Amino acid sequence: MLEGEHATDGEIDVTIGAGTASTTTIAGNMTVTSDLTLNGGDGALTFNSAGENSIKIPDNNGSALIVEEANNVYMKFVTTDGQEHIQIPDDTILAFGSDTDVTVQYDEDGDDAFVVDLGAGSSGGMQISSAASANAVLTIKNTENNVNGSTLKLVNDRAHGNISDGNEICGSLEFLADDTDGNITTYASVVGSAADSTSGSEEGILQFKVAENDGTLNAGLVITGTSTNDRIDVTLASDLASVTTVNGGLTTKGAMIAGDNGSATNLADDAAIPINVACARVDANGGARTGIRFNGSGTISQILVVVNVGGENLTFHATEGTAVLRGTNVNKDTILPGEAHIFVSDGTLWNHVGGGKTDEQMTAG
């Protein structure tokens, strides 16, 4: 049906078909020079070609195609030569999942940041995967001509009322791989925490952990802030059996203190001095003791400080092999009360280096 528009000169209205079930077939192209409005059903534009179906947009156009609601732009296709791109406007949310599980947004009105929100119900996180060797790589690159490098921030932004005075994990890096049974196992991690969250007195702690023996993660390097300005404490290794190797020289500007065995080891006759510490504090515990020996030969170049914190003499066994002490004899076999002595292991026996109150030798028992 053709009908001339009564109110507008040169306008003719055209109606094709007699009802919503009618089908209109156009052989060849159809050109629409104004708006095309779809009112029927769900307003779908359906492509039925068994071959390629496409929407053609013009070349070299700053607004070749715009998806919008009224004047609110959701997406714009730009075909300007050399600048072709699809533009998502500021503060527009791109949602994934039937329940909007994950969203992506350029937050112009907020932090001016590109925000990926994995949502409270998401547990899978974000994953970069590749079947090619050494190809799953994440690169953070600064291209500005300045001295500032890139930054990776791990932020724990909790509600203020839930923050305790410490042990808040700021973030962690984990390193995982298969074991021989195909189980994904955590072999190492780096954990940054707030040792003290008190405003104005904040202290941090950084732990470098690795798996040992049964896959348990233990810290081998711990860097801890303290309540003293400019003081940072560093702990190396895990337990007394751990070995720390320094290739090259070691310089210390402060005091070097040999850690001891805590409470003194009480010795009876024929008892052994512990060698699994740097400083062994020993006590005759009420009476002079004889037959004292070391509890093993130690490792080559191991240094051991022995301090008699008790009030009685400690005399080594007279036999070198039993005492595990090279050159022991009745003229220098006793550690007097209050004395500290230094011994170095040659891997077979301990060698007395020096110490004592009056000279560099032990006294006669």
Tokens of 141: 């690159």
Structural domains in the chain, CATH included, are 160-236 (no CATH), 265-355 (2.60.120)
Report pLDDT digits (tens) over 244-284: 888 998 888 888 777 776 778 999 999 999 998 889 999 99
Helix or strand or coil: residue 187?
strand
Other C-beta atoms within 10 Å of 358: how many?
8
> Is residue 163's pLDDT more than 70?
no
Task: Using a cut of 0.75, tell me whether the model's pTM lies above it.
Answer: no
Cβ-contact 269, 289 below 8 angstroms: yes
Q: What is the pLDDT of residues 183-204, one digit of tens each?
A: 999 999 999 999 888 888 899 9
The conformational region for residue 20 under phi > 0 = left, psi -120 to 50 = alpha, else beta, is alpha
Q: Hey, what's the torsion of the CAs at 317, 321, 325, 326, to 10 degrees?
A: 120
Q: How far apart are CA 275 and CA 131, in angstroms?
A: 51
339 neighbors 307 (Cβ within 8 angstroms):
yes
Tell me how far apart the alpha carbons of residues 292 and 151 are, in angstroms, rounded to a whole number: 59
Could you please report the per-residue DSSP string of 215-238? TEEEEEEEEEE-SSTT-EEEEESS
**pLDDT at 346 > cutoff 80:** yes
Tens digit of each residue's pLDDT (9 = 90 or more) over 213-223:
999 999 999 99
The answer to whether 343 touches 327, Cβ cutoff 8 Å, is no
Q: What share of the chain is helix, strand, coil (3-state, %, to 5)?
A: 0, 35, 65
Q: Which pLDDT value is given to residue 39?
A: 74
- In terms of phi and psi (left: phi > 0; alpha: psi -120 to 50; beta: otherwise), the region of 212 is beta
Find out whether 340 and 353 touch, Cβ atoms under 8 Å: no
Summarize pLDDT for 81-104 with one digit per residue, the tens: 999 999 998 888 889 888 888 889
- How far apart CA 165 and CA 299 sit, in angstroms, is 43
For residue 144 the two structure tokens come to 């500005």
Report whether 354 contacts 333 (CB < 8 A). no
Backbone φ/ψ region at 169: left (φ over 0), alpha (ψ -120 to 50), beta: beta
Residues 6 or more apart whose Cβ sits within 8 Å of residue 318: 328, 329, 330, 333
